Amino acid sequence: MVCLHVKHGDESQFLFDTTVDILIDELVKHITTIYSLRLKVNRICAEIEELAEHGIALPPNMQGLTEEQITELKLKDDWAEKCIPSGGAVYKKDGIGRRNGQEPNEKMKEVLRKTVEETKSLISKKQIQANICVTTEMVRNALDQLRGAVSIVYPMGLPPHDPIRLEFEDKEDLTGTQMALQIIEESESQLWWAGKELKRGKKLSDYLGKNEKTKIIVKLQKQGQGAPAREPVVSPEDQKQMMLHYYRRQEELKKLEESEDDAYLDSEWADRNMLKRQLQNLNNIKWRPK
């Protein structure tokens, strides 16, 4: 199997196992899907952490308003009484006014937190260091785990405007957000390797040959952005070790040079009293106690 180390820009994303006989079109589809699903999982995890702290999302027309403004405008959250977490709720005001402040009890919060932690570890970039390849099924299972945890705490379901439910139903609207800039649609995605674009319609073997035991770095990016920067010949860690070695060597040479500059002081010809001792026949005299 060919192991692909997928990057977006200079940032590592995940490892992906494939074969040299795969079509580039299919390869792009797999990698883009995994990339997009990992972004979705991270967004949902961030929202679930807020859900555990401050309860369900307020209706859009109430978000960001103070209690006085809500009272003055006579607004009401009709979902507050329908979506009460299992085991009851504890009030904890949301400082930014996005959620209603009815957080789950400690036991239910732990269910959400533990699931988020386990899910993050499944898609973590640390999997690269552990040499674990990510599959589409693995990321979808992570989504299912999050969906299951939310269902345990909110068996009646979340409000239709809650961002977590919108993410699960693929109805999220990220327009105008920083997260929208990270998204790459399959139709506009490209894979690059060694400064070459892997063209659709070809096979991976057209670029790598028939050797299945290969590991390469490929970069995923949008069309029209040009060729991504090439990978450095020396990794940052190796470069750091090399610079440390050169610094130590430079210090050693510096000390050696200073030592050689003063070494003549230990020589006989540099002793001012050498001639006097020779005339008085006092050379090679050793003193010791009786």
pLDDT in tens, 176-235: 888 888 999 999 999 999 889 999 999 999 999 998 889 999 999 998 877 787 766 666
Strands 215-222 and 102-104 turn out to be unpaired
pLDDT at 51 over 90: yes
* pTM, 2 dp: 0.78
Which are the contacts of 174, defined by CB distance < 8 A and separation ≥ 6?
180, 183
Could you tell me the pLDDT band of residue 252, with boundaries at 50, 70 and 90? confident
Quick check: 192 and 228 in contact, CB under 8 A?
yes
Question: What's the pLDDT tens digit per position in 111-133?
Answer: 999 999 999 998 898 899 999 99
Q: What local confidence, expressed as pLDDT, does residue 260 receive? A: 56
Question: What's the pLDDT tens digit per position in 17-31?
Answer: 999 999 999 999 999
239 or 56, higher pLDDT: 56
Average pLDDT, integer, range 159-164: 95
Instruction: Give helix 24-54 / helix 136-153 axis angle, nearest 10°.
Output: 20
Average pLDDT, the chain: 87
Could you tell me the pLDDT band of residue 46, with boundaries at 50, 70 and 90? very high
Residue 55 and residue 63: Cα distance in Å, rounded?
Answer: 13
How distant, in Å, are the alpha carbons of 43, 85, 88, 142, 270 from that of 155?
Answer: 21, 8, 12, 19, 94
Q: What is the DSSP string of 195-216?
A: TEE--TTSBTHHHHTT-SS-EE
Q: Find residue 90's DSSP bridge partners.
A: 103
Could you tell me the pLDDT band of residue 282, with boundaries at 50, 70 and 90? low
Residue 5 CA to its chain's centroid (Å): 14
